[in-house]
Structure formats: structure tokens, C-alpha cells
Structure 1
Amino acid sequence: MSSPRQPGPAQASPSATGLAPAAPVLLSAGGAEVSVLPGEGCRIGSLRIDGTELLRTESPAQYGYGSFPMVPWAGRVDHGRFRNGQVSHQLPVDPGAAPHAIHGTGVSAVWRPVREATSATSAAFYTDLADPWPYPGRVTQTFDLRPDSLTVTLAVETAAESFPAQVGWHPWFLRRLGGHGQPARLDFSPAWQEERGDDHLPTGRRTEPRPGPWDDCFGMPDGVDVTLTWPGALELRVTSGARWVVIYDEPEDALCVEPQSGPPNGLNTAPRLVTLIDPLEESTTWHWRRLQES
């Protein structure tokens, strides 16, 4: 359910506050350092713990590095088509995920700071929804760094008409820290696995979780809770109030743990309406602890 592609249409829109697009922002707390790249889809470009990088930081593919927000949908949309009530819409089909649209428009947008200054440990950015998304609205993403955790929050608001939406995050965690050592171990206990069809979309049937490798969506009705352990080095726990998580661990050098507010193709199968009085907001927290060599 993950796939690289060439960069899509940008979403930059005039700033309501007059602020220019933000340069990369570095947050630090204790031994943790986070680089946020507002000009590259407001992704986390780097996460270092005591100087050790946890994320894949480079890729020729727009979707292949850091940790980027998926908004206003997450994963694939069937042939790029979705409905809002009786109105049908067509999103651009992604060449790398044909015949589907994938991962939202936020990753193609230039985001702007919500306020002039950021603190050493927190920052907030926004982008206005625009073509090819058919509804006006605003997405805000905030980052809150502490010495042992990072919390990221996405909020989607409509400017007028209600519309279905999803949010999620797509991090690329390194399989081996520093390119050496033992590979990361992944532990989680999903309630079900979404059966994946030949078209890479959930069929609508839920099955018992199956062994990996995965490019699959899992249900966690009590909230996402997945732990990555680099033996003798670091443990990182990914949590979220979201009820779905996509695990993509097929690459040799990285693996992805993607909390999502709905399953792939959820605009069609599990629509969550954003209204003037009910915006969509979701958070994810990465909490880490250092491990001692045995």
C-alpha cells in the first residue's frame, strides 16, 4: 500500500498571514533533534537520538524518505474516484500506483508557519487545500518534541462545505541504525488484517493477522500501538488514537509504520465527514528509550 511516484501538482496558495514559505526548522530537546521540512510536504526530514539517525533521509522518490503527512486521504483511492453524497469526484491517478490516486496532496504542498516564530521544541504549519482536491479547507500540522518523545498532530478544517477526509503519517524507519547492527524487530497485536486484493486495495473482508512481509493494513480498535526495537540500541513505540495502521516492511533498508484515521480507500469505504463544527484531528506519538547492550 506504499508506492513511490514522481512529484505531483503543488498546492502552494497565498498566505492569509503574509508569511513566506518556511525554511527547514530544527527542533531539539535533550539528546533528540528533529528537522521539519515545510517546503517538502511538511515532512520530518530527520530524527536523531544522541546523534543516531532513525529515518531514511534521502530518496529520489517523493514518497521514499523522512516521515510525511498523508492528507486529505491516506493510502490509495480506487481509480482516484470518490463520492461526497451524490457528487462524484476524480483525483489524479498516480503513475507509481496506477490506476489509483495515493497518499493525499499534502506531501506535494509547500506549508507555511502558523506563527512567525517557533520555539526550540515546537512548531506549527498549515497549507490550504486546493486543486486537485475539490473542496476548500485548511490543514494544520503541529510538532511537539520532548527528550523522550515526539507528538505530531494533523487537523483538517473545511472552509464551507462538508467533505470526507483522512489523515495519516508515512515514516521510513531505518532497518539498521547506522547501516549496521541487528535489524529492527517489529511487535504489535492487531485485532484483524484487511484482506488485500490484487489491486492493492482492501477487499472489505477482515482476516486473522498473517505473517509478513507486509504491505498491508491492520485494524487496532483501541488505537495504534506498534513497537520497533533495535536490539542493544533503541526502542521506539508508535502510538495513535487512529484505529488503522499500514505496515510496509518489504524494503531491505527500511520499514514503515503508518497510523491512519481510516483504511486505504477509506474515502469510499469508511468516509469521515469534516464539517464546520466537526473538524478531523488526529495525533501520533513516537516514544523512545535507549537500551543497554547485554
Structure 2
Amino acid sequence: MIESTPAASPSATIDRRPISGRRVDLAHGAYTASIASVGASLRFLRHEGRDLVVAFDADEVRPAFRGAMLAPWPNRVVDGRYTFAGVDYQLALTEPSRGHALHGLAAWSDWELVASSTASATFQVVIEAQDGYPFRVQVAATYTLDDDGLRTEVEAVNLGDTDAPYGTGPHPYLVAGEGRVDDWTLELPASKVLTVTPDRLSPIAVEDFEGDDTRHFDFRTPRTIGDTFIDHAFTDLATDAHAGQVVVRVTSPGGTGVAMHWGDGLPWVQVHTADQPVPELDRLGLAVEPMTCPPDAFSTGTDLVVLAPNTPHRVSWTIAAL
């Protein structure tokens, strides 16, 4: 008689990690942070226990793109169509309501943790060649806490034999303190905005703040956001004379605040007031997304990064308490 081997217990193969991916907690001085491996997402960032970004739970499906790393493009590719090196491509439409390809291909991938310490962690993902994006690109994101806040560095390497189109940026929702977006003061050192269609948010033109339709986007002099709706990309960014970098500041009436600053390689920033139809979720935080390129750069070529084979591309930014 042949004896059968008992089947392995189902529990032996169950993945017990949180639904948002492997959780890595960091700490340095007054700062704490947590990164989730799905999307290499910033799950929370706190200073002396105060939230600096809108957080989400480890056992929660990340709400939309909250805190996610965006690659190989940030924002939208209109209709998912673009031409690169004379070849036409069609991406999957991941924003069905507007008919666009939104925020790249890595935001829902489970990134591999390749290095970690008490105050730093590096996650890595390979974006495999596929329909619409037949390029193989490796992206690494390193999060580091220090006295100046949370610094994120992103490095991309084209693993293929031909040039690849590329762009990146983060998607944090900054929290100034008590209240909501309407209550906070924004300082945004941009002198131009990319106007968009009201229905699909498709880019129209880069404009200054002289017109009636654009002057309400001028936050070079800090002022309260109020009921202003923003889901736009800004450029022509001025460098802070003291910091030597672009600095965006969001402050609350109580005097607390948060800043985000960055250097070369990120000439655009998307700002979004996080308007939601559900009252308890509406305008909880202000999305501030420094980007290597504007929306639809795959189509227009504006500030598009062309990754040569085996040539690293790096950018970084920092979020800090005020």
C-alpha cells in the first residue's frame, strides 16, 4: 500500500505581513516615520508625536496614492498615449473616470527592502518591460531621518539596451497642524501654473498669474488657502535665499507647520487640496509633489528624463517640521 504524504498546512504559506506591505519604522531624535513596502509608501511621519503627513494604517489598503513613490512617470499621461524615439505607445488607462494613465507603474508594486537601520531604509523595485512601456528600469528609494527631517533620495537605472523615458516624484499629503487645508497658510515660490481642463485635468498651457483665471494660484506671498481648489502643476520655482533650495511651507493658525524642500532636478511641483466628496476625508491634507517633469511629459517631452542604459539618475527632497 502506498501511503500519501499529508498536505502542508495552509498556514505554512500564508503571508502574515500587513496588507500595505512590509512595515519599516524609523526613528531619529524627535522624528519618527514608517514606510510600507507596497509603493515604497510613506505611511506616517511625525515630529514630537505630531503628524506631518496624512497617515494610514499598516493593515489598511493605502488610500489612493497617499505617500506613494511615483515612477516611471508622475501625474498623468493624457489618454495613455505617447510617442518616444519615433514609436507610438499605448499605456493602460488607470484613471478610468478621466481616461488617463496615472502615476506610473510602481505605486502598487511590492518593493524589496534591500537595506535598513534605525533611521534609514532603502526599498527597490524593477519595473519590467511591458505593453505600453517596453523598458526595464530599476528604481531605489532611500528614506533617512536626521535632525533636518525625512530625506528621500530616488535613484533610477535603465537596465535595458536602449534609452527609456522616465519621470518621478512623491505623493505626500502635508499636515500643518489642527484644522484642514482651508485653515492653513501656503507659501509656494512658483510664478507659473500649468492650466488644465476642468473635466479631465488635461494640460492646456503654462501661464503666469496675471490673468483673472490664474491670479488666485499665486502664493508667493504666504496667505490662507481658504476654499481655493488646486490640482495643478507649478513651475518657475524660486530658490530660498537662506536654504539654497526650493521651499514650500504650510502653516496652521496655531503656529505649527511643515516644510518640503528640494534642489536640482525637480523643476515642477503638483499641489492638490485633496478635495473629496466624503466630508470626513475632504481636504485633510495638502498634496505637495515635487516632480522631474510636468503632467503629460511623455507626450510633450517637456523636462522628460531620458534614461541612458546603466546611467543612474538621482533626485531628493526633504520633509521637516516647522
Structure 1 length as normaliser, TM-score?
0.82
Q: Are 1:156 and 1:279, in contact at CA under 8 Å, matched by a contact in 2? A: yes
Deviates more, 1:251-260 or 1:70-79: 251-260
The 1:174/1:237 distance shift into structure 2, 3 A limit, reads closer
Offset at residue 221 of structure 1 (A): 4.1
Q: Does 1:286 align with 2:310?
A: no
Q: Does 1:210 align with 2:215?
A: yes
- Partner Cα separation in structure 1 for residue 45 and residue 204 of structure 2: 35
Code of the residue aligned with 1:45 in structure 2: it is: R
Partner SS, residue 268 of structure 1 = helix
Q: Does 1:228 align with 2:245?
A: no
Offset at residue 97 of structure 1 (A): 4.6
Code of the residue aligned with 2:236 in structure 1: it is: M
Q: Are 2:189 and 2:237, in contact at CA under 8 Å, matched by a contact in 1? A: no
Q: Are 1:58 and 1:65, in contact at CA under 8 Å, matched by a contact in 2? A: no
Q: Are 2:229 and 2:273, in contact at CA under 8 Å, matched by a contact in 1? A: yes
- Partner Cα separation in structure 2 for residue 83 and residue 62 of structure 1: 32
1:1-294 matches, within 5 Å, as: 23-38=22-37, 40-58=38-56, 62=62, 64=64, 66-115=66-115, 118-130=116-128, 131=130, 133-160=133-160, 161-174=162-175, 176-177=177-178, 183-198=183-198, 199-208=200-209, 209-211=214-216, 212-222=228-238, 224-241=246-263, 242-251=266-275, 252-269=283-300, 270=302, 271-276=304-309, 278-289=311-322
Offset at residue 288 of structure 1 (A): 1.9
- Partner Cα separation in structure 1 for residue 308 and residue 258 of structure 2: 35
Q: Are 1:176 and 1:183, in contact at CA under 8 Å, matched by a contact in 2? A: no
Partner SS, residue 220 of structure 1 = strand
Q: Are 1:150 and 1:287, in contact at CA under 8 Å, matched by a contact in 2? A: yes
The 1:230/1:205 distance shift into structure 2, 3 A limit, reads closer
**What RMSD over aligned residues (CA atoms) do the two structures have, in Å?**
2.5
Offset at residue 113 of structure 1 (A): 1.7
* Cα offsets for 1:79-110 (capped at 9, x unmatched): 11122111111111024553100011111110
- Aligned-residue identity in percent: 23
The 1:139/1:181 distance shift into structure 2, 3 A limit, reads closer
Q: Are 1:111 and 1:126, in contact at CA under 8 Å, matched by a contact in 2? A: yes
The 1:65/1:78 distance shift into structure 2, 3 A limit, reads closer
Which protein has the larger Cα radius of gyration, Structure 1 or Structure 2?
2
- Partner Cα separation in structure 2 for residue 55 and residue 86 of structure 1: 41
The 1:180/1:217 distance shift into structure 2, 3 A limit, reads closer
The 1:62/1:51 distance shift into structure 2, 3 A limit, reads closer
Offset at residue 180 of structure 1 (A): 8.1
- Partner Cα separation in structure 2 for residue 284 and residue 206 of structure 1: 26
Deviates more, 1:181-190 or 1:197-206: 181-190
Partner SS, residue 200 of structure 1 = coil
Which residues of structure 2 form unaligned runs of 5+? 1-19, 217-227, 240-245, 276-282
The 1:154/1:138 distance shift into structure 2, 3 A limit, reads same
Offset at residue 176 of structure 1 (A): 4.5
- Partner Cα separation in structure 2 for residue 234 and residue 243 of structure 1: 27
Code of the residue aligned with 2:299 in structure 1: it is: N
* Cα offsets for 1:191-232 (capped at 9, x unmatched): 211121243122133232531321111003456421011233
Deviates more, 1:278-287 or 1:143-152: 278-287
Partner SS, residue 298 of structure 2 = helix
* Cα offsets for 1:221-244 (capped at 9, x unmatched): 456421011233523221123110
Which residues of structure 1 form unaligned runs of 5+? 1-20, 290-294
